[in-house]
Structure 1
Amino acid sequence: METLKRNFNLQDYTLYLAWIVSLAATFGSLYFSEIKGYIPCELCWYQRIAMYPLAIILGIAAYDNNKNMKRIVLPLSIIGGCISIFHYLEQKVPAMSAIKTCSKGVPCNVDYINWLGFITIPFLALIAFCLITLLMIYTKKDD
């Protein structure tokens, strides 16, 4: 048991953990739209555009143990996180909702879910993007 503790290194599993986070976020967004029937707004689509490829890229990277993929993953996760922050602020800060980024279809300031008064769909996406970004920063690059 002691040798198992000494040999465990989180950096060896960061690709797998990031892949699991991206899969959970991808399937979560599909659950909200396809099963619950929530129509995604324009900003939700941009967040999906950033997240869905991460599920594929991180899956391939985890399978190949290719830690050099972080140079592809990091820009997508950071951009997606920035969109999530903007979307969350648009939902929660009244002055931001006046910007009207979603001009057609569902307004971007609609809260389909509002758990505990602050957890919304963009907040969940932000948590996923932040976790993926932190895991990629912590990933030790292959030499």
Structure 2
Amino acid sequence: MDRVTERRLLAFGTVVAAVATAGSLYFSEVMGLLPCELCWYPRILMYPLVVVLGVAALEGRTSAYRTVLPLSVLGAGIAAYHSWLQASGASSSCSLGGCASVQYRLAGLTIPNLALIAFLLASAAALAAWRLEW
């Protein structure tokens, strides 16, 4: 494959991370939904992905998967656990009265569900770009 396709995959990952970052800021700053303790960890892991994937897309660095995967796999794991807490109704485990008590839904998905999808898409984009080069 050509370098353009790899860059497009990395750019796609950048867009996914940027939309997730903007979405999390919109939910908290505009809508006033207070993030619970479990929401903070995926945020901490998602925000740097915008920069890492963005720089990788500009420079065509498919080796960025080495930085993307630790952030996105850990973030996906936390988001999956958080999604499970919401689905099981264990809102007491989700402290500060945030997401698990609010249960805000967008297109039928909760905030942790959306974070999980974003982490999986960012991982897939980075891996696909690396795989095409390899």
TM-score (norm 1): 0.82
Deviation of 1:99 after TM superposition, in Å, equals: 6.6
Structure 1 residue 27 displacement after superposition: 0.3
Alignment check: 8 A CA contact 2:14 2:53 kept: yes
Whole-Å separation in 2 of the counterparts to 1:107 and 1:71: 32
- Contact 2:86/2:103 (<8 A) preserved: no
What TM-score comes out, normalization by structure 2 length? Answer: 0.87
Would you tell me which structure has more helix in proportion to its own residues?
A: 2
Tell me if structure 1 keeps the 8 A contact 2:17–2:47: yes
2:3, 2:60 within 8 Å by CA — same for their partners in 1? no
Overall identity of the aligned pairs, in %: 38
How far does the alpha carbon of each residue in 1:107-127 deviate from its partner, in whole angstroms, 9 at most, with x for none?
5522341245x4100011111
Say if 2:36 and 2:94, in contact at 8 Å, map to a contact too.
Answer: no
- C-alpha contact 1:85 1:122 (8 A) present in aligned 2: yes
**RMSD after superposition:** 2.4
Alignment correspondent of 1:88 = 83
- Runs (5+) with no aligned partner, structure 1: 1-6
Q: Which runs of 5+ in 2 are unaligned?
A: none
Larger Rg: 1
Structure 1 residues 58 and 115: alpha-carbon distance in aligned structure 2, compared to 1, 3 A threshold: closer
Question: When the two structures are aligned, how many residues end up with a matched partner?
Answer: 133
- Measured in 2, the distance between the counterparts of 1:124 and 1:130 equals 10
Secondary structure at 1:40's aligned position in 2?
coil
